[in-house]
Structure 1
Amino acid sequence: MMADHENAGYRRLFDGDGLTFGTGFPLTDNRTSRPPVERELELAAHAESVGFDALWARDVPLYWPRFGDAGQTFDTWPWLSQVAARTDEVALGTASVVLPLRHPLHVAKSAATVDRLSDGRLVLGIATGDRDPEFDAFGVDREERGARFRESVDLLRTVWREDFPQVEGRWGDLDGELDLVPEPTTESLPLLPTGHARQELEWIAEHGDGWLFYHLPESTLESYLDDWREAAGEKPYAMAVRSDLADDPEAGPEHVHQGFRAGTAWFREYFRRLEELGVDHVLVSPAGESPEADLQRFAADVIDRL
């Protein structure tokens, strides 16, 4: 029997026995200014056609030059609606929605809308945020991030699962006279807390439908996975790995921020090890100066040969 969050996107990522692969916007690797819209959408369709299982969109409300990364620039929800219209079955992920900076009722409606428009392909990575000036801009106390995150998760589940709910919190009150529309395609949407989200692991295991984490050294990853399986049972574990492709397919690994630069042969063995350790999904970033060719090469030489 399927759980109430297992929509089409969640099943695409986690129903099978093998490791699945996603990639993230901007696919043109333009992270400081507006990426070319038509080119990004063409590449999204291309990534699906060559075998990627998910396309992940960032949530970066405001650009902070010191951070050096504007995400994919466009707001998450309209952007994923555009991507949904240009793709067919690939999962659409958020990596990750910064819940403390967004009103949870807006998140609930926007997410349900994208899920409906994509026939159930939305998977929600959710986070507490890491760009300090944004909290001042939105009038949110950084020290309250953890509590606001928990409240948002509780409200999301409530308004998706219940009709005309009665609930109150620091975000406001629902008195039973208002209902959320549209409803998502499943009773709830899949939620993947990202990183520690300022929560205990036991809370993430109980309230999340999986865990989305960052790149870790393999010995540390093995320890994290042991702790996760003890706390969460068979709930899935997903992780992001920067994966710059070297020109030489036999090139050994060089460490880069949050991952490696290496040839496709080394990446095949690396992802085999991750699969053996129990990782269920990886968010990779092979698209470089020649994104169409890089996505094709990664799919043909890594995904298809695992």
Structure 2
Amino acid sequence: MKNELAEQDTHFQHVFRDGQLTIGLALPMLEPGQTVPDLDVQLELARAADELGFRALWIRDVPLNSADYPDPVGHLDPWVLLGALAAQTRRIALVSGAIVLTLRHPLHIAKAAISTSALSHDRFILGLGSGDRPPEYAALGKNTDDRRTLFRHNWEVVAAAIRAPSRVIPDLATPDAPEFCLLPALSDAVPMLAVGSGGQSLDWIARNACGWITYHREPEQQRDRYQLWRDAVGRSAPSAFRAFGVALKVDLSADSDEPAAAIPLGYRTGRKALVALLEDMRASGTHHVSLNLSATGRELRDVLEELAAEVLPAFHGGES
């Protein structure tokens, strides 16, 4: 189901705009070796990001932890954290990157999305993914073989419920069931992004989502992926703007001249080479980059301030 009204949302355009690239940040931002975030520190960093002019804060949904997983971080429940961020920030967009659509009931997701949008004064963008860990599916009573079908079905239910006016598609309905809606009422639909593919084709994503978010790949490969995306948009939503965003890990060196060196899912780099990398991404069609910061030997607040002073002006210009 197409989420048409979201394309007109000014907060969405603050993050995603044709021909431009904006920069956001992934939470939590952790010191090396830290696995359990300090909520007070995360809220302080979020307030700083808001004040310094970053465009978005991205929140992951990691339901369960295991010693067998490569990511040991104890992520907070995304809706609890998004509620706190809505109350603690003023301008920065809040984005789920991504709620696991296949492991939560879609009406619960829709209710939480509407609530977050209301608390943040329409700054929320709903990113949805399907997850990729079979043991989590089993633990939550789901079958990974149903992932693709469940993603499409749940997307349709969420999209109907977070439109204006809201429409509830029930799992089951008795003959005397009332017609439900979700409150508070929205003036515009909550924008919906596909984070990863969710087992769907790019044509399906282009028809149904406001944009597509992927992990970092080497520049040539990323340009190829963007072209595949543009081709899909041309076939399936030729008159619409559809965003393309990338999650990029960055270990920012204190040496501004340090050249970029590849690390898993990103780069160890000085700020000058980072600007060049981001300029290349903008030229190849990326609209937004979510930085997953690593702070080897540096204070995270110092990294944010350096990025705000030396990197953001090349992309955000004089816009507030």
Return the TM-score normalized by structure 1: 0.92
Unaligned runs of 5+ in 1: none
List per-residue Cα deviations over 1:5-28 (Å, max 9, x = no partner).
143431220247521011011123
Q: Is the 8 A contact 1:59 1:71 kept in 2?
A: no
Q: Are residues 42 and 176 of structure 1, via their aligned partners in 2, closer, same or farther at CA, if it must alter by over 3 Å?
A: same
Residue 275 (str. 1) matches residue 277 (str. 2)? no
Aligned to 1:28: 30
Alignment partners' CA distance in 1, 2:137 and 2:21: 36
Higher RCO, 1 vs 2 (CA within 8 Å, ≥6 residues apart): 2
Q: 1:31 to 1:58 in 2, by over 3 A?
A: farther
* Partner of residue 226, structure 1: 227
1:125 deviates by 1.3
CA–CA distance in structure 2, aligned partners of residues 150 and 128 of structure 1: 10
Q: Offset at 1:3?
A: 4.2
Q: 1:78 maps to which residue?
A: 80
Which deviates more from structure 2 when the two are superposed, residues 43-52 or residues 223-232? 223-232
Shift of 1:182: 2.1
Bigger mean CA deviation after superposition, 51-60 or 230-239: 230-239
The TM-score, its normalising length taken from structure 2, stands at 0.88
Which residue in the other structure is 1:64 paired with? 66
Give matches, 1:174-185, under 5 Å: 175-185=177-187
Contact 2:168 2:181 in 1 (8 A): no
> 1:189 matched to which residue of 2?
190
Answer yes or no: is the 8 Å Cα contact 1:7–1:121 preserved in 2: no
Residue range with higher mean Cα deviation, 286-295 or 52-61: 286-295
Asked if the contact 1:109/1:182 (under 8 Å) is kept, the reply is: no
Gap change, CA 1:213 and 1:14, over 3 Å in 2: same
Could you list the per-position Cα deviations for residues 85-141 of structure 1 after superposition, in whole angstroms to 9, with x for gaps in the alignment? 111010000110000100000000001000001000011111000222211110000
Question: Structure 2 counterpart of 1:66, which letter?
Answer: D
Cα distance change of structure 1 residues 304 and 287 upon mapping to structure 2, 3 Å threshold: farther
Q: What is the CA distance between 1:29 and its match in structure 2?
A: 4.3
SS at match of 1:101: coil
Q: Is the 8 A contact 2:100 2:129 kept in 1?
A: yes
Distance 1:213 1:303 in 2: 21
1:110/1:155 Cα in 2 relative to 1: closer, same or farther (>3 Å)?
A: same
Which residue does the alignment assign to 2:305? 296
* 8 A Cα contact 1:243 1:261, kept in partner: yes
**Greater CA drift, 253-262 or 6-15:** 6-15
CA distance in 2, matches of 1:13, 1:164: 25
Letter in 2 for 1:179: C
Alignment of 1:109-258 (within 5 A): 109-161=111-163, 165=167, 167-168=169-170, 171-173=171-173, 175-186=177-188, 188-233=189-234, 234-258=241-265
Tell me the percent identity.
30
CA RMSD of aligned residues (A): 2.2
The aligned amino acid for 1:86 is Q
- SS in structure 1 of the partner of residue 98 of structure 2: strand
TM-superposed CA distance for 1:295, in Å, is 1.0
Q: Retained in 1: the 8 A contact 2:22–2:289?
A: yes
Aligned to 1:98: 100
Map Cα deviations across residues 180-201 of structure 1 (whole Å, 9 max, x no partner): 1223341x21111112210111
* SS at structure 2 position matched to 1:228: helix
Would you say how many aligned residue pairs link Structure 1 and Structure 2? 302
